[in-house]
Amino acid sequence: MRTEALRKRRKPIAKNWQLMLMSLPAIVKIFIFSYLPMIGIVMAFKDYVPVKGIMGSAWNGFDNFAFFFQSADAWKILRNTLGLNAMLIVVELLSGVFFALLLYEVTTKKMLKVYQSVMFFPYFFSWVLVGLMLTTLLNPATGMLTTLIRELTGHEVAFYSKAWYWLIILPLVAIWKGTGFNSLIYYSALMSIDKELFEAAEIDGASKAQSIRHISIPFLLPMMVMLTILAIGHIMRADFGLFYFVPRNVSALYPVTDVLDTYVFRALTVNGDFAMSAAVGVFQSIVGFVLILGTNRLAKLFNKEYGLF
C-alpha cells in the first residue's frame, strides 16, 4: 500500500521531467540574476570596501541611508523622481487613450496601417539617438526651434541651461516615443468592443462624444487601471534613458532632470560610491514594492476585477 501511494506521488515528476528540464535554464538565470542580488541588499547596511567583499565589510546600520537622506540633493531628487514620473504616467495614459480613440475612428484600413506604422517609428530609436536628434531642434546656436524663436520674437532661448523647460520637454519626448506602443494596446482593446453597441447608441441619438464617454471609456477602464497600477509600482524607477541621454547629462539641468536612477548611476560610475548607491536601490525597491501592493489593494476595493493579483 505504501509503495503504491509513494509511486503515485512520484508519478507527476516522472511524467513532467522534460518540462522541468526545459524550465531549468530560465529558473537558474532568474535565480542568479534576480534572487542572488536580493541577498546583496545587505550591502546597503554595510561600510562596503571592495577588497573585503560584501560579507567581509563591517556593518554600519542605517548610515548609508542617513548619508543620502541628509544630503542636500535628496529632497530634489525624490521630488524629481516622483513628480516627473507621476506626470509621465498621466500624460502617457492620456495620449495613449486619445490616439487609440482617434485610430479607432479611422475607417480606411490602408490609412490606419500607415498611421500605426509611422507612430511606431520613434519607438525603434535608442535614447542616445533621441537625445542627439533633440539637439537638432534645441541647440543654442543652430537648433531649428531656437532659431525659429529667435527670428520670431528676438528672444534667445537657452534650452540646455534653463532647467524648467525640461518639465515640458521630457513629457513631450516621452509622448513622442511611446505613443505608438501605448495607443496600440488601447486600440486593440477597443477592437474587441461589439460594434452593435455603437450603432445602437447612434440610433438612440447619442453624439460621438457621448458614445466615447459611455461605451469606449468604460470599456478601456480596466486596462487603464491595470497599466497604471504597474506604472505606479515602478514610480521610483525612472526610465534611465529618458532622464540621462535626452537632457544629455547636462549638470545645469539636474535641478529638474536628476532622478534616483541617474543619481545612482553617477554615484556608481563617477564616484564609485557603492554602499550609498545600494542604499538608494534598496529604498527604491521597498517603496516600489509597497506601492504596487497598495495600489493593487486600492484597485480591488474600487472594483474586484481591477486587481492585478
Partner 1 sequence: MYKNKTYHQLVVHLCLILFCAMCLLPMVLTVSISLTDGSVIQKYGYQLIPSRFSLQAYTYIFMEPSTLLAGYKNSLLIVIVGTLGNLLVTSMVAYSLARRDFQYRGQISFYIFVTMIFSGGTVPLYILIVQYLDWKNMLISLIVPAFAAPFQIFMLRVFFQEIPPALIESAKLDGASDVRTYLSIVLPLSKPALATVALMMTLHYWNETFNAILFIDHTAQYPIQLVLKNITTYIEMVKNGGVDPSGQPVSASDVPSDAMMYAMMVLTSLPVMFLFGFLQKYFVKGLTIGAVKG
Is 34 a binding residue for partner 1 by CB under 8 A? The answer is yes
Residue whose CB is less far from partner 1, 53 or 218: 53
Name the minimum Å distance from CB 75 to partner 1.
Answer: 21
Is 20 a binding residue for partner 1 by CB under 8 A? The answer is yes
Name the minimum Å distance from CB 28 to partner 1.
Answer: 9
Is 45 a binding residue for partner 1 by CB under 8 A? The answer is no
Which range in 8-16, 69-77, 85-93, 155-163 contacts partner 1 by CB under 8 A?
8-16
- Spatial separation of the C-alpha atoms in residues 189 and 252, rounded to whole Å: 42
Q: Which 56-95 residues touch partner 1, going by CB under 8 A?
A: none
Residue whose CB is less far from partner 1, 256 or 281: 281
Residue whose CB is less far from partner 1, 88 or 261: 261
Enter the C-alpha cell of residue 68: 543620502
Q: Which 245-304 residues touch partner 1, going by CB under 8 A?
A: 245, 261, 264-265, 268-269, 274, 277-278, 280-282, 284-285, 288-289, 292-293
> Are 161 and 252 spatial neighbours (Cβ–Cβ below 8 Å)?
yes
- Spatial separation of the C-alpha atoms in residues 236 and 180, rounded to whole Å: 24
Q: Which of 6, 7, 10, 30 binds partner 1 (CB under 8 A)?
A: 30
- Spatial separation of the C-alpha atoms in residues 99 and 103, rounded to whole Å: 6
Residue whose CB is less far from partner 1, 84 or 278: 278
Residue whose CB is less far from partner 1, 1 or 205: 205
Q: What are phi and psi of 24, to 5 degrees?
A: -55, -50
Grouping H, G, I as helix, E, B as strand and the rest as coil, residue 243 is helix
Q: Report the b/e string of 66-96 with b at 16+ CB within 10 A.
A: ebbeeeeebebbbebbbebbeebbebbbebb
Which are the contacts of 55, defined by CB distance < 8 A and separation ≥ 6?
none
Q: Which 180-219 residues touch partner 1, going by CB under 8 A?
A: 180-181, 184-185, 187-189, 191-192, 208
Name the minimum Å distance from CB 271 to partner 1.
Answer: 12
Report the chain's C-alpha Rg in angstroms. Answer: 25
8-state DSSP, 246:
T
Q: Which of 1, 55, 72, 107 binds partner 1 (CB under 8 A)?
A: 107
Q: In the block, which residue shows the cell 491595470?
A: 226
> Are 38 and 51 spatial neighbours (Cβ–Cβ below 8 Å)?
no
Q: Which 120-139 residues touch partner 1, going by CB under 8 A?
A: 120-122, 124-130, 132-134, 136-137
- Spatial separation of the C-alpha atoms in residues 248 and 118, rounded to whole Å: 26
- Spatial separation of the C-alpha atoms in residues 281 and 240, rounded to whole Å: 14
Grouping H, G, I as helix, E, B as strand and the rest as coil, residue 304 is helix
Name the minimum Å distance from CB 305 to partner 1.
Answer: 15
Q: How many residues bind partner 1 (CB under 8 A)?
A: 95
Q: Which of 57, 88, 97, 143 binds partner 1 (CB under 8 A)?
A: 143
- Spatial separation of the C-alpha atoms in residues 220 and 28, rounded to whole Å: 38
Name the minimum Å distance from CB 145 to partner 1.
Answer: 10
Q: Which 229-248 residues touch partner 1, going by CB under 8 A?
A: 233, 240-241, 245
